[in-house]
Amino acid sequence: MGKILKYSFYDLIRSRWSYIYFMFYLLLGFVLFFLNNDVSKAVITLMNIIIVLVPLIGTIFGVMYYYNSREFTELLLAQPIKRSSIFLGQYFGVASSLTLSLVLGLGIPFVLYGLFRSDAIFDFSLLLITGAFLTLIFTALSFNIALSNENKIKGFGYSVLLWLFMAVIYDGLFLITLILFEEYPLDTFSLVATMFNPIDLSRTLILLKLDISALLGYTGAIFKQFFGTNTGFVISILMLILWTILPIWRLVYKAKRKDF
């Protein structure tokens, strides 16, 4: 697995797209600081971008890489290598190169502009950790989609749809449900519904650590308990880990049984 991971990783970090992705974040970081020098403000702006963009790039990149390296995969399958190592190696290769672009691209401008001297370092690390998780989750989901669909067009379509669903449609349905059932106590429901979407989950996680969490606690005792204490933070992190493990597990499971 290590060797395949290494090959995929080196293959990817030499590719043009990784550089573009990296340069994009680098530029974004510098522009944000150029416009306002306040680290904690920049964290909020970055959050808005990261929770939308990272899943999109993760999904597209993952599905693209899988289809592109199909011949290489088939070649590998002919060798005496465990199937799980092949697919996991490729998956971690993609995910880690994307994560690297994100962390370095945003990290460099932040470090240069005095992150270590500011108290936003925790918020910022949380932002990067969440970004990394989102990359892992959405790459894994897209690998799953690609693995289940031989047809490239279908695969692409499903993965874009997946992103659209998670980023926009889910919240829309969520909102409609909340309004339809506004007569009922909805605190627990809305917290649970947040857990079922990794994008919402990451958004909540970051908001929790910002001052704005007081705004969320305004609603009621359950929200106050969740957003006002460490409970919410711990639960959100655990859910993110679960969200990462489940698609990877399915990836391994499917890959073992797939007929190539």
Where do contacts with another protein occur on this chain (CB under 8 A)? 47-48, 51-52, 167-169, 171-172, 174-175, 178-179, 182, 186-187, 189-191, 194, 199-200, 203-204, 207, 211-212, 214-220, 223-224, 228
Nearer to another protein by Cβ, of 159 and 236: the residue is: 236
Question: How is residue 169 annotated by DSSP?
Answer: I
Least distance CB 9 / another protein (angstroms): 31
Alpha-carbon distances, residue 222 vs 187, 194, 232, 236, 250 (angstroms): 6, 14, 10, 15, 34
Least distance in Å: CB of 170 to another protein? Answer: 8
Q: Which is nearer to another protein, 23 or 35 (CB)?
A: 35
90 contacts: CB under 8 Å, gap ≥ 6: 4, 5, 8, 65, 66, 69, 73, 143
- Helices and strands counted in the chain (H then E): 13, 0
Angstrom distance (rounded) from CA 220 to CA 150 = 48
State which residue, 116 or 218, has the beta carbon closest to another protein. 218
CA distance 198 to 244: 9
User: What is the C-alpha separation between 210 and 67, in angstroms, rounded?
Assistant: 40
Are 76 and 4 in contact by the 8 Å Cβ rule? The answer is: yes
CB of 243 to another protein, least distance (A): 17
Packed helices 230-257 and 83-112: angle between N→C axes, nearest 10 degrees: 140
CB of 167 to another protein, least distance (A): 5
Residue 201 CB, nearest distance to another protein (Å)? 11
What is the residue-wise DSSP string for 103-123?
HHHHHHHHHHTTSTTSTTHHH
Measured from the CB atom, is 183 or 259 closer to another protein? 183
Which structure tokens are listed for 41? 């403000």
Separation between Cα atoms, residue 167 and residue 52, nearest integer Å = 6
Residue (13 or 216) nearer to another protein, CB: 216
What is the token pair recorded at 60?
Answer: 């597209």
Q: Closer to another protein at the Cβ: 104 or 212?
A: 212
Q: Tell me how far, at minimum, the Cβ of 75 lies from another protein, in Å.
A: 40
Q: For residues 33 and 170, which CB has a smaller minimum distance to another protein in the complex?
A: 170
Cβ 172 to another protein, closest distance in Å?
5
Here the tokens at position 98 are: 């994307």
